[in-house]
Structure 1
């Protein structure tokens, strides 16, 4: 039997990572960007990142709007610059 090296995830420079569980830092970026956001409630379930001059985030979220009990999925896109506050760049219902 041959010894095989572990499979490593490769990401192209400027490419998006695979969706993965949020780290505490990912959650903090999400919280900062949505601070004061009203209307729809978004709960992130996974995140994908892209390193640029800062970091782009795509958060896969469960979304809902009170008082309705309907839940749908959405991608919340956030840009975190090297300096300054992260902010929402787009929200897409999926």
Structure 2
């Protein structure tokens, strides 16, 4: 399947080291929850938008894991920026 210009790719469940690095850079020193990427979709704009399908786990207080979509923007130059975190309700 071909990707539509400006559209999102399909989710890839083989998350590359490059995508993992973008996610890590976007979170910086975030504390309280650890997000583990299970899949990633991308959208090429003036840079790249990433949508990570993640499993969130509390780091301060033990609790249940939860699914979430984590959106990150990586500009052509400069650091990755966390755009939004959406918790997915079952």
Please give the TM-score of this superposition, normalised by the length of structure 1: 0.87
Structure 1: gaps (5+ residues): 1-8
Partner Cα distance (2:31, 2:17) in 1: 23
Report what 1:56 is aligned to: 49
1:88, CA displacement in angstroms? 0.3
* 58, 78, 84: which one aligns with 1:90: 84
1:92, CA displacement in angstroms? 0.1
- Counterpart of 2:53 in 1: which secondary structure? strand
Report what 2:62 is aligned to: 68
Report what 1:43 is aligned to: 36
CA deviations on 1:34-92 (whole Å, 9 max, x unpaired) are 12011111111100000000000000000011332300000010000001000100000
Structure with more of its chain in strand, by fraction: 2
Structure 2: gaps (5+ residues): none
* 2, 9, 18: which one aligns with 1:10: 2
Q: Which has the larger radius of gyration?
A: 1
Aligned positions, number: 86
Please give the TM-score of this superposition, normalised by the length of structure 2: 0.91
* Two-structure CA RMSD over aligned residues (Å): 0.9
Moved over 6 A (4+): none
